[in-house]
């Protein structure tokens, strides 16, 4: 692989020898790679090996140059080393960070994943709002769209240029290419029959009919003059029953004050443009986006779901609802009948917050996969350390607004208007800032990250920020309990480059202690495996060795406390446990527990008929965390007829106490409950005082 670096007309202090040593590659420093030295790029892309270009500004230019270069066969990747480090107040110390960014750019691309398809090629656009505004936007939409207007009042033009609907919206559901509008036509005027002759408007003494050609039933006094003048067309009928309709659309433009979808992330293809934004840049941007969304599209299926790992429900009881609660697109719903959650991949926007809060790993991020994201973080940290860097800080940010903020800050630093990204802060772009969680953060600390910060720019749903803060509190409690001094995790909330500049200068000094021996494990596809590897390494290298660390509520690890006086060893909790943390013993009545498997979903506590189980979020730092231990045990109860053990004394006594007053369990019938299954049948058929079906 060839790496091309450029100091952008000598505005960055790059050291090609030091960078080359970190990358195990001989590097040549260019100053005008996109201009006078473009021949070096052309020569590199003829080699057949992959090429990394340390410039994103001229990506389009390099693409055109590649297409015009004869014999160009090399795949090309681009990485930004300028705004992320080369343009900053301490750019001279940013060499290790630049080496890390270049090393990460050399990693292979993630494997492709299944896609989700959208088809909006029919270009059916529904415009909801006051008629005059709806008509204006329909006209601006141009020839590429087929508008239908749903009037909410106002005054329309005389010419009927587009289909117009009017009535009560019952529901609006769906996504790009598959919106379903259910509405009820409940006005006396049928717009399909109306000729817009305006005779009804002139005839109405209360002015209850406007240029939207609908009767204001609040103002109408039932003179019915409008009906008389409309006899030829027959469009007005006050006795007409409301009629329900369903129509399909590909795109929706909603001009009402209140949106039709209340979730933070509405479906793709739906645009809300309230009256305050109906003119100006926002309106123009919306129209351009509407036009761009006509056609056939695919997007990655961002998450993968494994039902057998899911702790959502068991036996009709609801346990974990973390993914359902956090999803800002309302793309995840409960399906207790099948003991699972259901993901609507057409509504999913790929934020990954569901995978972040999932305690079991039943939901995992698929593009990139956890092992790909983990490999990137490990590469960044190892290359940074190899290049001589100290106390690295990872800044995880979204690849849209987060990237824009970082680049705007770098540009300001390039002209001396800001300090820029500090030398030890490594920006890491993600599809969404909420797509990583506690397992990758702790793995990063185990691999040498002195701090992990997540940048929130205001585009995130409020529940995402709550989830990130909760997970950070849990991780920080673990690290502090193990004796790792300092601050290791933070949520940076910056809305503009000025705020980000100030926040990053403070962040650069907020570093925490890391293990003396860096972890070298690779992140696994299984979330719990990565979490266990990180915890094991942190415990092994910990400055302190506590027996247990109390964690905040909501932690994905912990223990359960069983009240032995209440527990009857019915084992319903064992059947409900989705992670095999609770186990029975086939040899004797015994409830066992493996703490490292517990995800604190609460299904055991909700299932227990005796209410004998309480969750205890904590980290057990001793090896017993991985070993089964006995929570409760009892002597087996022996059948009073044959002596065979078939239950526990407490369970049998509890059953006898509950059924003693029942009319069906008196005398011999009550004694029969003390027998095993075989003996009950024998006793029942051998009893002389029992009425049998053959005797009837």
Please tell me what DSSP assigns to residue 547.
Answer: S
Which one, of 95, 75, 77, lies nearest residue 7 by Cα? 95
What number of H helices and E strands is found in the chain? 21, 32
Give CA separation, 352 vs 302, 332, 467, 491, 597, in Å: 8, 12, 12, 17, 23
Distance CA 139, CA 162 (A): 9
**Please, which residues have CB within 8 angstroms of residue 239's CB and are 6 or more apart in sequence?**
none
Q: Please give the structure tokens belonging to residue 101.
A: 């960014």
Widest Cα–Cα separation across the chain: 109
* pLDDT recorded at residue 694: 64
Q: How confident is the chain (696 residues) per 10-residue block, as mean pLDDT?
A: 95 96 95 96 95 96 95 95 96 97 95 94 96 94 92 92 94 97 95 94 94 93 93 94 96 96 96 91 93 96 94 90 96 91 96 96 94 97 96 97 97 96 97 96 98 96 97 97 97 97 95 96 96 97 96 96 91 93 90 96 94 97 95 88 83 84 84 89 81 62
Dihedral (Cα; 624, 627, 632, 636), 10-degree rounding: -150
Half-sphere exposure of 191 (CA within 13 A, CB side): 23
Q: Determine contact, residues 87/407, Cβ cutoff 8 Å.
A: no
Give the SS3 label for residue 77. strand
Q: What is the pTM for the complete model shown? A: 0.89
- H or E element in which residue 515 lies: none
Please tell me what DSSP assigns to residue 236.
Answer: B
Distance CA 582, CA 591 (A): 7
Name the CA radius of gyration of the chain, rounded.
34
Please tell me what DSSP assigns to residue 512.
Answer: B
Q: Please give the structure tokens belonging to residue 51.
A: 């090429």
Please tell me what DSSP assigns to residue 302.
Answer: -
* pLDDT recorded at residue 644: 87
- In this structure, what are the phi and psi dihedrals at residue 105, rounded to the nearest 5 degrees? -70, -20
Q: Please give the structure tokens belonging to residue 371.
A: 């092992």
Q: Please give the structure tokens belonging to residue 114.
A: 């299944």
Q: Please give the structure tokens belonging to residue 231.
A: 């006899």
Strand partners, 51: 2, 76
Say if strands 317-318 and 332-335 run parallel, antiparallel, or are unpaired: unpaired
Distance CA 516, CA 36 (A): 47
Q: Determine contact, residues 656/574, Cβ cutoff 8 Å.
A: no
* pLDDT recorded at residue 684: 83
Give the SS3 label for residue 3. strand
DSSP track, 442-507 = HHHHHTT-SEEEEEE-S-S-HHHHHHHHHHHHHHHHHHHHTT--B--EEEEE-SSHHHHHHHHHHH
Give the SS3 label for residue 283. helix
């Amino acid at each position: 692989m060839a790496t091309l670096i450029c100091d952008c007309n000598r505005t960055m202090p790059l050291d090609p020898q030091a960078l080359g040593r970190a990358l195990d590659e001989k590097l040549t420093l260019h100053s005008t790679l996109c201009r006078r030295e473009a021949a070096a790029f052309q020569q590199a892309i003829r080699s057949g090996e992959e090429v990394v270009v340390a410039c994103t500004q001229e990506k389009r230019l390099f693409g055109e140059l590649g297409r015009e270069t004869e014999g160009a066969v090399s795949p090309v990747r681009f990485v930004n080393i300028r705004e992320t480090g080369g343009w900053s107040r301490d750019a001279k110390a940013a060499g290790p960070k630049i080496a890390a960014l270049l090393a990460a750019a050399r990693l292979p691309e993630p494997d492709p994943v299944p896609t989700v398809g959208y088809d909006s090629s029919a270009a059916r656009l529904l415009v909801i709002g006051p008629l005059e505004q709806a008509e204006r936007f329909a006209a601006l939409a141009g020839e590429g769209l087929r508008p239908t207007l749903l009037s909410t009042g106002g005054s329309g033009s005389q010419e009927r240029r587009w289909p117009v609907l009017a009535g009560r919206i019952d529901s609006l559901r769906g996504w790009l290419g598959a919106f379903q509008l259910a509405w009820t036509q409940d006005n006396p005027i049928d717009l399909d029959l109306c000729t817009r002759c305006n005779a009804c408007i002139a005839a109405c003494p209360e002015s209850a009919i406007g240029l939207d050609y609908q009767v204001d039933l609040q103002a109408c006094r039932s003179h019915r003059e409008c009906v008389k003048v409309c006899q030829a067309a027959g469009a007005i009928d006050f006795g007409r029953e409301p009629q329900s309709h369903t129509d399909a659309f590909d795109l929706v433009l909603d001009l009402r004050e209140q949106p039709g979808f209340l979730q933070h992330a509405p479906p793709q293809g739906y645009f809300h443009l309230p009256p305050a934004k109906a003119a100006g840049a926002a309106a123009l941007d919306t129209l351009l986006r509407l036009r761009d969304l006509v056609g056939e599209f695919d997007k990655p299926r961002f998450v993968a779901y494994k039902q057998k790992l899911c702790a959502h429900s068991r036996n009709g009881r609801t346990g974990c609802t973390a993914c359902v609660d956090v999803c800002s697109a309302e793309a995840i719903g409960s399906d207790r009948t099948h003991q699972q959650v259901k993901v609507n991949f057409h509504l999913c926007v790929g934020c990954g917050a569901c995978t972040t809060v999932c305690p079991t790993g039943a939901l995992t991020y698929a593009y990139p996969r956890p092992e790909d994201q983990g490999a990137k973080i490990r590469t960044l940290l190892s290359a940074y350390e190899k290049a001589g860097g100290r106390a690295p800080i990872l800044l995880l940010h979204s690849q849209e607004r987060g990237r824009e903020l970082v680049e705007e800050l770098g540009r300001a630093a390039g002209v001396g208007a800001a300090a820029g990204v500090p030398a030890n802060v490594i920006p890491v772009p993600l599809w969404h800032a909420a797509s990583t969680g506690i397992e990758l953060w702790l793995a990063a600390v185990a691999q040498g990250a002195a701090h992990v910060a997540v940048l929130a720019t205001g585009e995130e749903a409020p529940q995402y920020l709550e989830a990130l803060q909760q997970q950070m509190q849990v991780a920080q409690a673990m690290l502090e309990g193990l004796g790792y001094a300092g601050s290791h995790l933070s949520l940076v909330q910056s809305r503009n480059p000025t705020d980000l500049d100030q926040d990053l200068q403070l962040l650069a000094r907020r570093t925490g202690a890391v293990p003396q021996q860096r972890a070298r494990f690779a992140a696994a596809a299984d979330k719990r495996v990565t979490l266990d590897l990180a915890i094991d390494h942190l415990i092994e290298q910990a400055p302190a060795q506590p027996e247990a660390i109390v964690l905040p509520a909501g932690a994905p690890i912990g223990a359960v406390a069983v009240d032995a006086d209440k527990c009857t060893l019915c084992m319903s909790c064992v059947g409900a446990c989705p992670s095999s943390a609770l186990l029975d013993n086939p040899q004797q009545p015994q409830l066992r527990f493996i703490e490292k498997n517990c995800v604190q979903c609460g299904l055991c506590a909700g299932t227990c008929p005796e209410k004998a189980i309480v969750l205890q979020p904590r980290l057990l730092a001793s090896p017993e965390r991985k070993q089964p231990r006995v929570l409760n045990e009892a002597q087996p109860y022996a059948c009073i007829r044959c002596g065979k053990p078939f239950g526990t004394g407490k369970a049998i006594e509890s059953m006898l106490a509950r059924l003693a007053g029942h009319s069906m369990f008196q005398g011999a019938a009550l004694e029969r409950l003390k027998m095993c299954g075989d003996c009950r049948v024998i006793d029942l058929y051998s009893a002389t005082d029992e009425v049998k079906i053959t005797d009837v």
